[in-house]
Chains A and B, each alone.
Chain A
Amino acid sequence: MLPEMKEESELISGLFRQEFSKMVAVISKLFGLQYIENAEDIVSETFLLAAETWGQNVIPPNPTAWLYTVAKQKTLYHFRRQKLFTQKIIPELQSMHENINEINDVNFSSQNIKDSQLQMMFAICTPAIASEAQIGLALRILCGFGIDEIAEAFLSNKETINKRLFRTKEKLRSEKIKLELPGENEINNRLDNVLHIIYLLFNEGYYSKTQNQILRKDFCLEALRLGIMLTEYERTNKPKTNALIALICFHSSRFEARETSENSFVLYEQQDEELWDIDLIRQGIHFLNLSAEGNEVSSYHLEARIAFWHCMKEDSKEKWEEILQLYNQLMMINYSPSVALNRTFALYKANGQKAALIEAEKLKMENNHFYFLLLGELYSGIDNIKAKMNFKMSFSLAKTHTEKQGIQEKIDELP
């Protein structure tokens, strides 16, 4: 590829990621959410035209303005055709189409873009559709990821993802979801839905099994961007929003240092903190401080504090005591086996190996390879025969090659 062509195509992919969601949000707001696919088509056609003409001629001095201008023209053209269609061909439909009044302009002002994007976030993160469906749509509409990228992240294929997206948009239509901010009574609960999706999106990037590191990091950064967008509105700038952002910052700061083998207990001790992103840690601390307002202690608050401690490399008993108490609280609002296991590890560091062993034996998580991995750790040095037994059990339950390899190393390390 010629250097000029490469530069132009990188510019366009960058702009796509940045502008796709903004433009789709504004145009969907104009037409109505039920016409979201029309909005996507218009924006895709706009970028196609950009790809065709910018290469032949010259990259415009203000690429974004060019995109908005072309998108406006296409939107107005499409609208007039639509109006013509409904007026001349199906007059009865006219009364049902709320936006049939004159549309003379498409408002791409920064305020309208912001408002439309926020409303789109709430529309997609509606409790009326399943979370898995929401994430796919969020990745496409809110973050501008390509179908192939989404397929790669979910270890799926384009046809499956396309079908899923289609069905989800159908659901938006059948549930008559509108592009509007929820009312005062509802907004706190609805915000929980939005935060949950952002959290899942972040997890998808952070824990995804796909090898594409760049893609995974992009997911994390997009989750961060969406979270920060929420802080720009008074009604959504809540302590729990800031807590979630802090949590994302802290985890993301250690992204480069994470081993791909999902050996979470030894992870923190083996990480090379030279690879930690100090700016992200600072940003996390900033948002953590902002989150320390009000009375609500959400699970994001607790997880953010735990993540904060993990970004402090010192290995003191005080640190692990803090982490233990945070996990004690977290289990009460958001129990899961992995939280329980992490709590037990913190207990090991805070209260000692023997105390942790007693607690660990009570957990009886028979099908969980991490459980036996932890037991193996806790028995090491106290009863190496039992340690080996537990590691071997973990090995048999582990699914991936890298997991098994890591466990085998532990077995080999034992005297």
Chain B
Amino acid sequence: MKEFMLVFRQPSYDHSNVSPNEMQAITKRWQDWVGGIAAQGKLSSNGSRLSQEGKVLKAGGVITEGPFVEIRERLGGYMFIKADSLEEATTLAHGCPALDANGSVEIRPVYS
């Protein structure tokens, strides 16, 4: 089996207006979705969420605050899965809660 990285993006990670119950429901959806991949024996590494603080460094020593704000999709987290092909990896990505938040999942083969 090969290794693939899944990268999660959403327009917003601002949960200040989300009720605790809703937050719990979102957490559950993520845990169940990752669990679904793990149950198939296809989870390689759980990965992490990323804080929405950050910096961007460009050539010339230019440092800007915050993650890329120009594009509408902020990078939220990543994980690693195992599959036999890019197609299979993409199938595993279905049902990802990022999609419910108008986001996307990028699926990239990892060089070994």
Contact = CB atoms under 8 A, between A and B. Distances in A.
Interface of A: 321, 324-325, 327-328, 331-332, 335, 337, 340, 343-344, 347, 351, 359, 362-364
Contacts of B38: 328, 331-332, 335, 340
A328 B41 CA distance: 12
B85 interface: no
A346 to B, nearest CB: 10
Contacts of B35: 324, 327-328, 331, 343, 347
A332 B43 CA distance: 8
A144 B40 CA distance: 42
A325 B31 CA distance: 7
Contact of B39 (A325, A351, A359): A359
A331 B39 contact: yes
Nearest to B46: A332
Contacts of A337: 41
A328 B37 CA distance: 10
B43 A324 contact: no
B39 A340 contact: yes
Given A331-B38, A362-B39, 19 more contacts: A324-B35, A325-B28, A327-B35, A328-B32, A328-B35, A331-B35, A332-B46, A335-B38, A335-B41, A335-B43, A337-B41, A340-B38, A343-B39, A344-B39, A347-B35, A359-B36, A359-B39, A362-B40, A364-B40
24 contacts: A321-B28, A324-B32, A327-B35, A328-B32, A328-B34, A331-B35, A331-B43, A332-B34, A332-B43, A335-B38, A335-B41, A340-B38, A340-B40, A343-B39, A344-B39, A347-B32, A347-B35, A359-B36, A359-B39, A362-B39, A362-B40, A363-B39, A363-B40, A364-B40
Interface string B11-48: 00000000000000000100110111011110100100
Contacts of B34: 328, 332
Contacts, number: 41
Contact of A351 (B32, B40, B41, B46): B32
Nearest to B91: A362
Contact of A362 (B28, B31, B36, B43): B36
A67 B97 CA distance: 67
Contacts of B32: 324, 328, 347, 351
Nearest to B31: A328
Interface pairs A-B: 9 shortest CB-CB: A328-B35, A331-B38, A340-B39, A328-B31, A332-B46, A362-B40, A359-B36, A343-B39, A325-B31
A359 B32 CA distance: 10
Contacts of B39: 331, 340, 343-344, 359, 362-363
A296 B21 CA distance: 27
Interface string B45-60: 0100000000000000
A325 B39 CA distance: 12
Nearest to B41: A335
A326 to B, nearest CB: 10
Contacts of A343: 35, 39
Contacts of A331: 35, 38-39, 43
A328 B46 CA distance: 11
Contacts of A324: 32, 35
Contacts of A335: 38, 41, 43
Contact of A340 (B31, B41, B46): B41
A358 B74 CA distance: 31
B91 to A, nearest CB: 9
Contacts of B31: 325, 328
A318 to B, nearest CB: 12
Contacts of A321: 28
Nearest to A344: B39
Contacts of B36: 359, 362
A194 to B, nearest CB: 28
Contacts of A340: 38-41
Contacts of A362: 36, 39-40
Contacts of A344: 39
B6 to A, nearest CB: 15
B85 to A, nearest CB: 16
Contacts of B43: 331-332, 335
Nearest to B38: A331
In the complex, which of the residues B28, B38, B43 has the most CB atoms of chain A within 10 Å of its own CB atom? B38
A343 B43 CA distance: 15
A171 B39 CA distance: 38
Contacts of B46: 332
Nearest to A333: B46
Contacts of A347: 32, 35
